[in-house]
Structure 1
Amino acid sequence: MFTGEGKFLASVNDVSHYIVNQGLSIYDNIIGIQNFLISAKNVVLNNKFVPDDLKGEVDKANKLIDSVGSLPRIKSQDITDEIRKLLKQINTALITITVFMLLLAFLGFLFSILGMKTCVYMFVVIGWIVITLTFFLCGLFLVFHNIVSDTCIAMDEWIQDPMADSAMGEVLPCFDMAFGEEIKEAGKGVTTNVNDLLNQFITVLANNNTANNQSGPFVPLICDPYKHGDSQESCGDEVPLKNATEEWKKYVCQVSEDGDCTTPGRLTPDMYTEMIKAVNISNGLYDYNPFIAGVADCSIIQDTLKNITTNHCPGLKKYSEWVYSGLVAATGSVMFSLFFWVLYARERRHRKYTKRINKGYDESPLVGGKKL
């Protein structure tokens, strides 16, 4: 029973940590998206800003994120606290009752051997009270075992046929499609507009020989992933978002005190820094697209539940059954011990009584050749 209890509590702890970590991961990703959107409003390249209508879309998306973004973190913290309390109570109850039952069985057996009838009967009464409580605990654990099994079955059925509502949605929120599309469109708009600003900046300043005394090969334009994809093959002569930082570094020149290039190159260090800030925002929002789609179509919850049913449910069901079976076995053992205490005490008393009668018979005087 103790082995099953330890493994069961470990399994519960593992699955709770997994769910909480998933919730926190969603929260961190949502906040990451929001930070990129806010930063995009401040992008300035060659005195050019993102359009005002795009800033309006960003503000609208940020309001949506503010309304639901903290939900996974709040629910995760609540679940962590509740699970810790539950695990502590279960562990304390099982250890206390088990130790008390072992102590009761030992003392009852000792008192029955010593013939302490009063103590034996007192322990019998206490034993039945403990047995009643233990059977009640067995019933509770059986209910808990059934809840675990039913929950795992329900999660598996939900994976096969996703439904609109789920208790898991409180921790791993599955937002509606409108939310996902709103955030996705805002991110797409930011990425496209920032890329346009970057390409204008490269064309007007970087590839202009008169701006800062630049020379050498032209800086490649940024490739729009929504139009041409994000691989070098699909982008052709343009540079993919994910490669822009390293590629543009090749075009940085050394500068004089006046800020003009003194070595071949088309980007001054300051120009390169501003371009990298902008491209990181653009690339960051593009990289979040799969996450946004996963939240909107519930695939994140499906993957989470699938992991639980595959990797955690078998252990939870098996170890909860171990604890239940151990409790039943321990309770049955103590119950039989109560009967044996009483029988042994009565047998011992009967032997003493018989021995005393026989002793009196042996010591009585003879009358007519017979014992009185």
Structure 2
Amino acid sequence: MPALCYPFDSQLQERQCTDQEVSSANASMVWKKYECEVSEFGICTTVGRVTPDIYSQIVAAVNESYALEHYTPPLLSLQNCNFVRDAFSRITSSYCPPLNHYLKIINVGLGLVSVGVLLCLVLWILYANRPQREEAFEKLSLPEKIKSIFKNNQNSANLSRQM
């Protein structure tokens, strides 16, 4: 039964499989020839090296390793957003070159909106801490109230003298 080819050497560089090894792409078909028929006791009754149970476990492991080998690199590119950057650079260079210019304009616009919102927030905080209109006029109108009280007192005193 041929061994499974490991596609990388000790320095994790890609290598070619030898003639005595099978690739993960066709290992299940090659190993099917080495499957035997089993008796009710689980012992091989025909020529072969692996039981159907062991064969199914080996094929499942090979399918998992094949999936990891072929689907991991694209998933790793999602980890640090290289996939998104590559997609946008391909779109901007191939399909619509002005898109790069428009994306820069959008980024500048979003920056200006952010600065505007920040400025509004600062002005709102400063305006909220100002004295309110009634408080400002109350300080100015206090002497007027005192004058009117004194005038009322003087008027009532004058009326009482006249009587």
The two structures have a TM-score, normalised by structure 1, of 0.25
The two structures have a TM-score, normalised by structure 2, of 0.45
Bigger fraction of residues in helix = 1
- Report the structure number with the largest CA radius of gyration: 2
Which structure exhibits the higher relative contact order, with contacts defined as CA atoms closer than 8 Å and separated by 6 or more residues? 1
